[in-house]
Structure 1
Amino acid sequence: MMKIGGCSAVFLSLLALVLVLLSFVGINPEVPKQAPYRFTGYLSWLPKQEGSDDNMLDAATLFNIITMIIASYYALKWAYNPPTNPKLITHFYSADDNDVASSPTIDFNRVLAIYIVTTLLAGAVLFFVGAGKIWVAVGVFHNASEFIILIMLGSGGKIKSSTFWPILGFYIFIISITCILFKFPYDALWFKGQGLCFDWALIIEFTRIYLTTLHELKHGGANHDDLDELIENEDDSSQHKSIIHHPHQLLLLIFGAFFHLIGNFVFTIFLYSFYA
């Protein structure tokens, strides 16, 4: 089977999304009217619903911002100050028929920290200016950080191709320009649709890595013993007794991605359809 690069796979997925959206051309559904956001007066993607409680939404958003501030602080602190003892640094492991290799997760951890920060910024800007074209200027970097995570997961924890960064810049440019030019509701549908693709992809990729690692540890090939030895050495090097053993720490990434997706659904669909 022909193998394709991670970047190509992502863009093929986005192309499929565009084709799906084009299939709706000619359909004229009833589109709710935009409402001005109360702080700025700019038209928001989220229509005003009779009977809705702004206090509930504000409380949820502020709680999210506060927790993300705390998470961002510790994520940046831990990611950019890794242990000085190399034995305490976790690794990506890969095993084939010829060799067992490992790659430090330092860069990946830093990208995760940046992802948390961009999530914080997206939430803060959402609170102050509302969901709309201005919010896209920040929200697109949140999606871009998810893009980077997916590519790193597919590349053994490193960005191996120098062409990725121009592709990432092109993605940010295209999403920003199209959302500026598209009229409502196509700008909202386009941005939210491609963003949800990344959210689903993260859950799928984290789950795939977790299940593949479990399978490799139980039914590995010729280098199974070497892989076990690498992991055992890493676990034994910890200064404290571990309460989560490899690879179960990956469940934290799966749960985080899952709740992030659930939050998107609740905010976008259920919260406003409840008052419709």
Structure 2
Amino acid sequence: MFYRRIFSITINIIIIFTILLSFRFTKNEFPEQERSRFTGYLTWHGKLSHFDQESYDASLWFWIVINGLSAVYAFVWASKRNLPKKVITYIYQENGSRTTSHFLNVIIAYYITFTFVSGFALFLFDNGKMFSTFAAFHNAFELAMILLFFQGGKITLKYFYATVGGYIFLVNLLDITLPWPINGLWFKAQGLCLDFALCIVFTRTYKATQEYVEGLTSAQLPLVNDEDHPFEEDSSISPLIIQHPQQLLLLIFSSAIHIVGNAFAALFPSDGWG
């Protein structure tokens, strides 16, 4: 099953790559690349019209700061081992077994961290080859999350790290060697593919978990009070609204917002390909 998925992904990549190569045989005229204001490197966009640099920088730095703070919190949360049972999320399998979301929490923490790094790289280098070197790691952790769900929440595949590392190498290789604008289109296309795939995986996980837990009693579910960790002991981490598996909706919501942002930037590239 896993190798069939890998084959399917490979075929899709080949199709995308073929479409990008078709631009070589068209007579479309692409804008001349602008240079980064700090480094002078060529970017993946032409001259920008009706562009407010100050507003763009303000929104970008807001994004950077929020992601930086979120990364710190994510690592603090992921490093906790003795969490109350009521706040532990489980990934359920078709056979009824379950795995805690510890590995997923760690990968999400790294994902947020490299989102922070990518934001800083975007500010410093603008949108281009140098930026994509850092942003590829952001995308790589999306791939890692997808692979983790396919493995039931644990890293059991011996080629897990090789697959993620190979992805990073391939993306950067094509970004560096392909000519403009194919390299920018390639980077945006493969990134959007991962964004959509991750949102689909989150949605399927939520639906599967929802169907599985329908027959369970409240005592068998996380996010409920238990005798070992009563509500009064630590009300700061006691969920008052979210019931399992509704917390998974946060992943679907955030991934959907991510898709909207990336798609908007691709369709209306007033600030480049970012």
Cα distance, 1:9 vs. partner?
A: 4.2
Give the residue type in structure 2 aligned to 1:254.
Answer: I
The 10-residue stretch of structure 1 (188-197 or 240-249) with the greater mean CA deviation from structure 2: 240-249
Checking the alignment, whether the CA contact within 8 Å between 1:7 and 1:151 is kept in structure 2 is: no
**Alpha-carbon distance, 1:163 to partner:** 1.5
Matches of 1:33 and 1:23, distance apart in 2: 20
State how far apart, in whole Å, the 2-side matches of 1:43 and 1:158 are.
41
Work out the CA distance in 1 between the residues paired with 2:223 and 2:261.
35
Q: Distance in 2 between matches of 1:273 and 1:88?
A: 40
Q: Do the aligned partners of residues 107 and 230 (structure 1) sit closer, same or farther apart at CA in structure 2, a change above 3 Å counting? A: farther
The answer to whether the 8 Å contact 2:89/2:222 transfers is no
- Residues 82, 89 of structure 1: 8 Å contact kept: no
Aligned to 2:105: 109
Q: Distance in 1 between matches of 2:5 and 2:73?
A: 30
Match of 1:132 in 2: 128
Distance 2:38 2:23 in 1: 34
1:17 maps to what in 2? 16
Amino acid at match of 2:256: F
Match of 2:72 in 1: 73
Structure 1 residues 51 and 86: CA distance shift in structure 2, 3 A: closer
C-alpha distance in 1 between matches for 2:121 and 2:77: 25
In the TM superposition, what whole-angstrom CA distance separates every residue of 1:123-168 from its partner, at most 9, and x where no partner exists? 1100111111111211111111000000011111112111122222
Q: Which amino acid aligns with 2:207?
A: L
Structure 1 counterpart of 2:146, one-letter code: L
* Pairing 1:247-262 to 2, within 5 Å after superposition: 247-262=245-260
Query: 1:50-75: CA deviations, max 9, x gaps?
Result: 33111121111111011111111111
Could you say if the C-alpha distance between residues 3 and 126 of structure 1 is closer, same or farther in structure 2, counting changes exceeding 3 Å?
A: closer
Matched, 1:203 2:199: yes
For residue 203 of structure 1, give the secondary structure of its aligned residue in structure 2: helix
* Misfit runs of 4+, over 6 Å: none
TM-score, normalised with respect to structure 1? 0.86
Residue 92 of structure 1 aligns to a residue whose secondary structure is strand
Q: How does 1:219-238 map to 2 (within 5 A)?
A: 224-225=215-216, 228=217, 231-232=220-221, 235-237=224-226
Q: C-alpha root-mean-square deviation of aligned residues, in Å?
A: 2.4
- Counterpart residue identity of residue 50, structure 2: G
One-letter amino acid matched to 1:51: H
1:157 to 1:67, Cα distance in 2 relative to 1, 3 A: same
Unaligned stretches of 5+ residues in structure 1: 219-223
Distance 1:68 1:250 in 2: 20
The aligned residue for residue 174 of structure 2 is 178
State the alpha-carbon separation in 2 of the partners of residues 179 and 120 from structure 1.
21
- Indicate the residue corresponding to 2:235 in structure 1: none
- Structure 2 runs not aligned, ≥5 long: 232-237
Please state whether the residue corresponding to 2:25 is helix, strand or coil. coil
Give the distance between the partners of 1:83 and 1:102, measured in 2 at CA: 18
Aligned ranges 1:139-158 → 2 under 5 Å: 139-158=135-154
Provide closer, same or farther for how the CA distance between residues 47 and 25 of structure 1 changes in structure 2, counting only shifts above 3 A.
Answer: closer
CA contact (8 A) 1:83 1:89 kept: no
C-alpha separation between the residues in 1 aligned to 2:18 and 2:265?
A: 26
How high is the TM-score relative to the length of structure 2? 0.86
- Cα distance between partner residues in 2 of 1:52 and 1:120: 23
2-structure distance, mates of 1:28, 1:231:
63
